[in-house]
Structures are given as C-alpha cells and as structure tokens.
Amino acid sequence: MSLRRLLGAATAVVMLGSLAAVPAATAAPAGTTGQAAAAPATLAPTADNTPEAMWKQTPDGFASLPGYGLAGTTGGQAGRTVTASTIGELKDYAAATEPLVIFIRGSLAATDYVKIPVAANKSFIGTGAGAEVVNAGFKLINTSNVIFRNFTIRDSYIPGDWDGKRPDNDRDGIQLDTTHHVWVDHMKIQRMGDGLIDTRKDSDLVTYSWNIFADNNKALGVGWTSNAVTRMTIHHNWIRNTTQRNFSLDNTAAAHVYNNYLQDVGQYGMMGRNAAKVVLEGNTFTAVQDPIVAKDPGTEVVSRDNVFNGTRGRRDNVGAAFDPAQNYAYQKDDAARVPDIVAAGAGPRENSAPNNATRITVALDGTGDFGSLQAAIGSIPSGSTMPRTITVKPGTYRESVNVWADRPNLTIQGATANPADVVISYDLPANGAKFYGGTWGAGGSATLNVLAEGTTVRNLTVENAYDEAANGGSQALAVRSVGDKVAFDGTRFLGNQDTYLADTTGRDATARTYLKNCYIEGDVDFIYGRGTAVLDGCTIHSLDRGSATNNGYVVAPSTKNSNPYGFLIVDSKLTSDAAPGTVSLGRPWFASSDPDAHPMAVIRDSTLGSHIAVRGWADMSGHAWSEGRFAEYNNSGPGAYVNEFHPQLTAADAPKFTKEAFLGDWTPAGRG
C-alpha cells in the first residue's frame, strides 16, 4: 500500500519504530483519539511520481539521534490525534501539556499576528490541500520533541519594514530558543516579517528537510549564543528569492548542509560565523552573491561537490570541520540533479498551484496581493515566460529589488501616471563595508537590479538615498539594467554618483535598454556602463555640487570596441542649477584598463543647458577624451557648442546614429 493511499491527500504523521499513522481523510475530530493504522514497510511512488522516499516516516540527520533523555524526535506520537481548524484551537492544542498529533486543516488566519507557544511532544501535520497558518508563527522556548510537516506558514510581513527593524516586528515563522529534537519537513515558509526560522540560544539536534523557504529578506538564522552547541542537518531545501541568512550558521558545533538548492539570492548564501563547524556538500547555488562565506578566523567550512551557476564572490573552503558520517548514515544526491529533485519534491504535498496570474498588485495598505515588490516578483514561477504586470500602488517602498533573470517579460508599473507617487528606495553605497568583509560594489549597491530580458518599468521612481553629504562620496546606484530589451518609460532615477548603470551579462555580451520620457539625475558619471542605451525624450539633470569649476560628468560609457552602439541621447533636455560651464558631457571609461574598450556616446537633437562645459568632453584615468567615440549633432541651447571639443556628426553620418540603428531588430512599445 502506498503512503498516499494510506493517508489520502495528506502526509504521514511521522513516528518512530512501529508507530502508526492516522489517515487524514478519517482523522479523529478535535479532542478525540484517532485509531492507529500500520505504517507501510515499503514506500512506493505516488500517482504524481513524487518518490515516497522523500516522505520518510521518521526523521533523519541530527534530529534522529538520542540525547537529553530522548531516543530521538517522535513528536506527539504518544498522544491523541486532534484537528485544529482555527487559530484559537491551534493555540490551545500547541500549549497543551500532553503529547498531541495536531492536524491542521484549511487556512488558519490570525487577525493580528500571534507567535504561538509550543509545548513539548507535539506533531503539527497539514492535511488536505491548502493547509496553512497565515499571519502567525510558532515559538518553541525551553521545549523539545516537536515535528512540523506538510503545511504553509506565510504572510506576516509588515509592509514597508523590509529590514525588519521595527520594534514590534519579531514575526518569525518558527523560533527555537534552547530547544532540542525538532524536525521541520516538507514545509513552505514565506513572506514573514522577520526570519523564516530562527534557531537560537543553544538549540540542538535539529533537522530541516525538503522545505521551501522563499520571498523574504532574512531567511534562516542560527545562533544568538556564545556557545558552540547546535547540531543540525539541513538537506533538500529550496531557498529562493531571499536576501540574507541562507543559512547564517553561528557557533554551530556541527552543521551538515547537503543537497540544498539556493536560487536567486540577493546578498550572501551559506555563512559560517564565529566557531561554527559546517560541512557543505552537493548543494547547487544559482544566482547567489557570495555563495559560501567563512566569516571569522575560528570558522571551519568544508565545501565539496557543490555546483555554482551564475554566482560571483566568495566560495570559502577552510578547516576540517567534522565528519557527518561519524554521526549518522545518509545518502547524497548528485548536485547537478539537485535543482530538479528539490523543485519537484520540496514543500507540502498539496502545494499551491503555480501563480498563473497575469496581473499582480503591490500595496502598503493591505489592498494588494503583496506588501513588497520583491515578494511579488518571487510569486512568479522561475522560468515562466508568460508576460505579467505588477502594479505598485502609491507609497515609498524601502527595499532592494531584483528582477531575476529567470523571470522575463515582466512589466512593473506605478498605479498612477505620476512617477513621484511610487518610490522604490534603498541606500547602499558601493564602497559600503559588508559585515563579513569586502564592499557591496556597484551592482550590490543598486536599489533596482533588472536582470531579466524583456522587462519594462514605467511610471515610478527608483532612488539610491545614500547621503553623500553625511557619509562621503561613493558610487551608489539607483538602477542597474543587465538583461536585453529592457525598457523604462516615464521612470525617475535619483542618485548622485553612478545613478544608472547600463550593464551586460559579461564582457563580450550586449544588452539594449530603451529609456523613454525618463528623468535621470546625478552628478558624477551618472549614466554609465558597457551596455547599449537609448535615452529618448528624457530630462537629464546634473546636480549642483557647489563647485565653481567642476560639477561632474553626465555619461561614462565603457562600450566594447566591437559594439558600434553605446549611448544615444536624443530629443532630450540636459538641465542643471550648477554654475555655467562646469559640467562635462562625459568621459571615456576604460573599465579595469580594458584595452578592448572603445567608449561610445552620441548626443543629438537635444537641448543643452548653460551648465555644459565649453570643453565638452573630459579625460578619465589617464585616457584622453579623444580615445572615445564621442559625437554631437543638431543640438540647441546655451551649452550646444560647436568647436574642437564638441565633435559633430556630418549630415551624411547622422542617419547612421538613430534610435532604430541602436535598437536593431527590437521595437519597444512607445518607440517614436
């Protein structure tokens, strides 16, 4: 008999030894004891071809080991079986002094966030489709022997509190303090206010397996102690669209991390801290910055057989850590197969259907589908090419946003025609120090990273709010576009140095961006990069730096020599409140002294204010401005000089440098 047939649509109640499981379809009513049935000796494939081996009847890893007077993790197997259909019932059962197997049926939503205290010897098992706990979490303090399986915990995010710094925001999915023998298996935890799971204060003998952790800033933290006590196993989890703590493993005595799939992570991946001992093996990291970090001199991180796709930054491998096989037996999958295996098997059995909505709304006031733009992007299935539109309602959204490369053909638009009504704001400087070493760099500082092909952004503002006056000068990007065929329409870009980076996926790649009716402000090289960008009908505003001689540079292209098209500014206005003649049109950027660069920019049919210098173009880092491919044509206004420092296209050459020529076979919507 298959486990699916035994339990209907639910997961088995996980027990040890000869413990039986109660069929979900005939689970005993709340407050009564269910009749046990024999557990199958052999687990057969299910009807949907999900291997039953993914649905073990007993925990594996460290949660299976004896300690602290327990033979292992058994949850509520010794007690009654009950069903919770409301948050109130769930709270009562969770706090009961007796052992309980608690079935969660349907959607249990709290009006106001509540962190539910959990007493020892409990199993929480989702039954049927849609088993979930909404706007609530679980708190395990000085307790033991608890199992969570087969349901979703979601949506306690406080809109606007991306960093989780509000004093009333301790909205974790699951919090463990000084707790031992916990198994979290086939769960989905997403969009919480604080962490998805916080494993704290000397908690021990824990296994997290086959879970989905998604759409959150802070994902999975371990530590909050000066003692190296925690022993934990982390395997076959899918960690996606998160930013930090993926996991952050602080002072773990032994953390065995294998066959996990980390996908689309904004800052850092797996991190060992202080005296942590970590073994990372057979994991796949895709689009993860700093995938493996050993932060401190006492940290030991063993990295073996891991796969890295589209990652950059640190891949630390230091020390001997420990030997997992000396603690328990385990079977490791080939890391190359981990993305498919984990994507097919992680999360609750009756997992939510993929999001096929073509229109998604983000709002701070609770009237949207999501409270953050990054969460809305995360709701789109990886690899989907279906065109979708995210509409963002008015407000200021403080968050760092990534439009991941595996989510193409997305439109992000403000809900009104006024881009000032919707502001996406963050404040990382490129020279800002990461707490684990190094700096954020240009790409890491961007408030909005557009990595996906076919993205359109319209009618909103993106700013990097880094305060140069208070903290000193630094690159601090508002927007970085990387994908091909990216369009900005009626978008405002606010920053100082390096406001907008037109980038590509690599040194030899090309990427086209079209900016229509946009407003871009900054001071130093605030439109720069090696990409191809057409600025059509835009206002390009140079900020006044207060200098009587040099108030900055508009463009700094680093175009590859084989690319005939760098930057084109056409039918636009170059404005400033700076002193007359103190702003250069641009300068040539030979990134990393690249000998194959040949920076290219054309400014034509535009109005140039009095701030533009008589010597229109400037030298940069030992390279003369004349080494670039710079030209102007048919400009007007007090800054539209025609002299030896303002090279002009001829009437014969002008037709070669048009929007159509720069964009090639791509005709974005709205191109005139």
Q: How far apart are CA 578 and CA 226, in angstroms?
A: 54
CA angle 190, 316, 256 (to 5 degrees): 55
- For CA atoms 72, 54, 175, 153, give the dihedral sign: negative
> Torsions phi, psi of 363, nearest 5?
-150, 145
In the structure encoding, which two tokens stand for residue 603, read together?
């400014």
Tally of CB atoms within 10 A around 667: 12
Beta carbons of 289 and 267 less than 8 angstroms apart? yes
Q: How far apart are CA 350 and CA 346, in angstroms?
A: 11
In the structure encoding, which two tokens stand for residue 592, read together?
């990393």
DSSP string, 249-303: EESEEEEEEES-EEEEESS--EEEETT-EEEEES-EEEEEBS-EEE-STT-EEEE
Beta carbons of 620 and 580 less than 8 angstroms apart? no
Terminal Cα-to-Cα distance of the chain (whole angstroms): 66
Instruction: Of 552, 493, 555, give the one whose Cα is nearest residue 530.
Output: 555
Q: How far apart are CA 494 and CA 296, in angstroms?
A: 37
Residue with tokens 């927007």, as numbered in its chain: 479
Exposed/middle/buried for residue 621 (C-beta within 10 Å: 0-12, 13-18, 19+): exposed
Q: How far apart are CA 106 and CA 281, in angstroms?
A: 37
Tell me the residue type at 32.
Answer: T
CA angle 660, 480, 286 (to 5 degrees): 110
Residue 669, Ramachandran bin (φ over 0: left; ψ between -120 and 50: alpha; else beta) = beta
What residues are labeled active site? 498, 525
Residue with tokens 């969660």, as numbered in its chain: 104
Q: How far apart are CA 127 and CA 150, in angstroms?
A: 7
Tally of CB atoms within 10 A around 247: 28
List CB contacts of 334: < 8 A, sequence separation 6 or more. 282
Tally of CB atoms within 10 A around 387: 12
Q: Bridge-partner residues for 183, per DSSP? A: 147, 207
Tell me the residue type at 253.
Answer: A
3-state DSSP: the chain helix, strand, coil percent, rounded to 5?
A: 10, 40, 50
Helix (H), strand (E), coil (C) string for 386-443: CCEEEEECCEEEECCEEECCCCCCEEEEECCCCHHHEEEEECCCCCCECCCCCECHHH
